[in-house]
Structure 1
Amino acid sequence: MWKEFKGFIANKNVVTMATGIILGSAFTAIITSLVDNIFMPIIVAITGQADVSGLALSIGNTEIGYGAFIQAIINFILIGGFLFMTLKALEKAQNKKIISPEEEPAGPSEVELLQDILAELKNK
């Protein structure tokens, strides 16, 4: 059982996933700072109010805090938009090839590979 657990933990997929989670947590701090320190001051400059989480509706002795829900939606839209733009930029950067298709070395064709395999099988 211990060997299986060690094998599971040492699996490349588990290590990659753990690394992604750790980097995601660190990136969360960056995004939160971006929203709190850059986006929200711009919204305050435009609207005069940045935090709507204090808005509430009183019904008798009960208070419905709909402002916190609206604030969560605003944060989600800002964070989602920033992440979308960041991921699109990364995707665009990764798709750029250093070697153009014309400069790529030509490998053997499928026919040549199959002929090599057939020749190897005949030699055995």
Structure 2
Amino acid sequence: MWKEFKAFALKGNVLDLAIGVIIGAAFGKIVTSLVNDLLTPLLGILVGGVNFSELAVKVGEAELKYGSFIQSVVDFLLVAGSIFFVMKLIVRKKKKEEAAVPEAPKVSKEELLLSEIRDVLKDRLK
């Protein structure tokens, strides 16, 4: 049973997943800091310091905190937008790097046919 567990735990897929989770957690901290420390204060300046989480309506004994919901939606949109723009930058950089690597010249059909004829002629002369 130990051998089976070791084989399972050390498979490439499991290790890749573990690395992805660790990097995802670290990336999550970066995005959270970006949103909490940069974007939310800037948004607060733009909307005049309005804090939605304080908004509530009292209905009888119950208090409906619709402001917390609005704040959660705003936070989600900031996080999603941040991730979108960071990933867009990463993809753009990757495309530039891939474009910088020259591709091998494509061989036309005529060149391919001429190469085959040349090889046949070489074989006949041997």
Q: Which residue of 2 aligns with 1:32?
A: 32
Gaps of 5+ in 1: 113-124
Q: How does 1:1-124 map to 2 (within 5 A)?
A: 1-95=1-95, 96-97=97-98, 98-102=100-104
Paired residue secondary structure (1:53): helix
Q: Which is helix-richer, 1 or 2?
A: 2
Deviation >6 Å, runs of 4+: none
After TM superposition, give the deviation of residue 87 of structure 1 in Å.
1.1
Q: Percent identity?
A: 36
Q: CA deviation at 1:33?
A: 1.1
| Superposed displacement of residue 86, structure 1 | 1.1
Contact 2:35 2:82 in 1 (8 A): no
> Which amino acid in the other structure matches residue 57 of structure 1?
V
Structure number with bigger Rg: 2
RMSD: 2.1
- Shift of the 18–60 alpha-carbon distance from structure 1 to 2, 3 Å rule, reads same
Distance 2:14 2:58 in 1: 49
Runs (5+) with no aligned partner, structure 2: 107-111, 117-126
C-alpha distance in 1 between matches for 2:73 and 2:6: 42
Matched-pair contact (CA < 8 Å) for 1:52–1:67? yes
CA offset digits 1:82-110 (Å, max 9, x no partner):
11111122122223324212469xxxx8x
Provide, for residues 62-90 of structure 1, a one-character-per-residue CA deviation record: whole Å limited to 9, x for no partner: 01111111111111111111111111221
Count of aligned pairs: 106
**Which has the larger displacement, 15-24 or 95-104?**
95-104
TM-score of the aligned structures, taking structure 2 as reference length:
0.74
TM-score using structure 1 length: 0.75
Which range moved further: 11-20 or 85-94?
A: 85-94
Higher RCO (CA-CA < 8 Å; seq separation 6+) = 2
- Conservation of the 8 A alpha-carbon contact between 1:53 and 1:71: yes
